[in-house]
Structure 1
């Protein structure tokens, strides 16, 4: 049975929520948690989604090269998952912001299509009611004005272009841009990038080779890695492995340390989950949070996890988090502050299996619940949401 949300929800934005509900915080990225996020807004309007802005593939790469910016695609994706589609006009705005330009049309035709959106003449823009239509078409007009000559619009997401325009308008800051979109769609949660810098990922594999760029690690745009990933770090370019440091700001640190529950969820393990834990301050903020910390391992199908068992993933999470405070992730007293639950479905096919006794011996409380849905290798979003809420 659903836990009712008490209080009222204001369209004034995240800072003005009078509804509480449990504050579940996710270190996430990509689309693996999209449907679960959508289900969570039935139970709480106070979830927090810390998103990786390191995507370096597809149309995100085109935007990043043009504007030297963090990736906004996963942020837009999560905002749309949290959108209140029952609010008047939000479904129409959702349709506009999730629209992608054709990958086959020539550049001049795509520019004309964007111009029609910016003028409010395109059908998707025309369906958005005023006064919101005037605001979002203005954002698209701003993007057109800033768009470099020869910019490749093929496959571009309209929502990403709008977010980019607001990022530019706010002095290249994502937080205020995210909040503007969040207010318009009545998002039932708070979305933040883990850091705002123009950063990328690099990894060393067990065979000693180095891979640069998130898109070369995921196995989605090319061949998957041929050797297990040994470690990952932040860089300043998808073509340069030179390590760079970055730190979370005070807002993100406060959100993490003040969460009722922290979740390391399903998703691409290295590029979505572990990547979120790399910036300085994340591990210390996690350790300062008194609530439960839960790992939900992938039930299968993640090409990044070649050669890594569930127990190995637990060790990596704890070591990366502990290193932020100069501590040893193998120390039971330290490890317990960083991760204390693992949520699994005993019927799922995990890489290397799930040794519950060994996981329990490492200090974890193993929670075995039915999570699998009808689609092979994927969790049911309702079952996953309910299992997490039961731990708060």
Structure 2
């Protein structure tokens, strides 16, 4: 597979493959992304032009923001990143469901007083809020059923400031469907005509933890990302899953069969940009993930983040590749060859120094392909169009 990618690199993007995908996106390839957070949303939004069959396995381990408020209230997985990816993949044309999209994307004001927040919430529940009135029946009735389930179970003192309406509806659906995410994710996907598949990597209320190289143990995704709190002070040695703050044995959390089947159907597997540990490697922690990826003979691409990642303290690109392979081999086996898990690293030509790209090729015998994938005004972010065209061209 690596030699095939190298032979194609001179033809990336491939105009014929790109034109074929854009003409028939409903028949587009099944690109699988293992991600979390919002780093991939702009790319996912553009990907709709090329394929309606992309697949997204998302980490439900977020311990910050409004997702954490819901987790504490209902002992449920984090849904914020799942909702945001559903919205990124929704049909935003007038042929889709723009009124539902606007409702699911709405957030309660941050600075409004409690009385005003509660008044607006009551208007939503009654169906009199302008966002709810805009939705026709029977869809409005279906959405209200989920929102009213949330209201019924809402604990006293629940703060609505900055709460996402879509998250509240997801939480209500989770409670309605016997505390399972998959049914309500499927329902929301249909409501907004999602152009792809979005699932949680596991349907369980788990957390993340990490052992640092200085022996320190850090618990919680929010405490690791360095975005809401101070960044970690030593490199990460090992990432692990937790339940109620207690470390779980590696084999105790299984990759669900439905997600293993997504991997088995993928035409390309992508480890995309985002926080390396809490967004990408977190998806590889359930038992069976590494083995399922190793068994699939398709292109497997790592797209490193171009901006600063506080989780990658002191790490070069070869170090990041090593961390990715180590996490995969923890499940696939230490003797699993690198090319069974990763076929190429693709990055922007101007973002990664030449010596680091050469070190990846020398250390892992994997191609590191430097392409023109950013705009001059945003050198720390991938330009969605050439990136989508590159991935399409590799299939």
Q: TM-score, normalised by structure 1?
A: 0.91
Could you say which residue in structure 2 is the equivalent of 1:355?
356
Question: Residues 351 and 379 of structure 2 are in contact (CA less than 8 Å); yes or no, is this contact kept in structure 1?
Answer: no
Displacement of 1:233 in angstroms is 0.3
Check if 1:367 corresponds to 2:369.
yes
Displacement of 1:5 in angstroms is 4.8
Pick aligned residue for 1:380 from 366, 375, 383? 383
Check if 1:343 corresponds to 2:346.
yes
Distance 2:390 2:355 in 1: 18
Cα–Cα, structure 1 residues 377 and 59, in superposed 2: closer, same or farther, change >3 Å? same
Q: For residues 283-337 of structure 1, what are the alpha-carbon distances to aligned partners after superposition, in whole Å with 9 as ceiling and x for unaligned? A: 0110111101000001122111111111111111111111113x21xx5x62110
Question: Residues 82 and 200 of structure 2 are in contact (CA less than 8 Å); yes or no, is this contact kept in structure 1?
Answer: yes
Question: Residues 185 and 198 of structure 2 are in contact (CA less than 8 Å); yes or no, is this contact kept in structure 1?
Answer: yes
Segment of structure 1 superposing worse, 86-95 or 45-54: 86-95
Q: Secondary structure at the match of 1:27?
A: strand
Aligned length: 375
Alpha-carbon RMSD: 1.8
Ranked by relative contact order (alpha carbons within 8 Å, sequence separation 6 or more), the top structure is: 2
Distance 2:273 2:23 in 1: 30
Pick aligned residue for 2:106 from 99, 104, 120? 99
Q: Secondary structure at the match of 1:211?
A: strand
Give the helix-richer structure, 1 or 2.
Answer: 2
Question: Which sections of structure 2, spanning at least 5 residues, go unmatched?
Answer: 1-14
Question: Residues 349 and 377 of structure 1 are in contact (CA less than 8 Å); yes or no, is this contact kept in structure 2?
Answer: no
Question: Residues 114 and 140 of structure 1 are in contact (CA less than 8 Å); yes or no, is this contact kept in structure 2?
Answer: no
Pick aligned residue for 1:243 from 248, 256, 259? 248
Displacement of 1:254 in angstroms is 1.0
Runs of 4+ in 1 over 6 A off after TM superposition: 6-9
Cα–Cα, structure 1 residues 250 and 89, in superposed 2: closer, same or farther, change >3 Å? closer
Question: Which sections of structure 1, spanning at least 5 residues, go unmatched?
Answer: 10-18
Could you say which residue in structure 1 is the equivalent of 2:200?
193
Distance 1:68 1:111 in 2: 23
Q: Secondary structure at the match of 1:254?
A: helix
Displacement of 1:87 in angstroms is 4.2
Q: Secondary structure at the match of 1:343?
A: strand
Question: Residues 231 and 311 of structure 2 are in contact (CA less than 8 Å); yes or no, is this contact kept in structure 1?
Answer: yes
Distance 1:8 1:116 in 2: 42
Distance 1:101 1:255 in 2: 35
Question: Residues 300 and 377 of structure 1 are in contact (CA less than 8 Å); yes or no, is this contact kept in structure 2?
Answer: yes
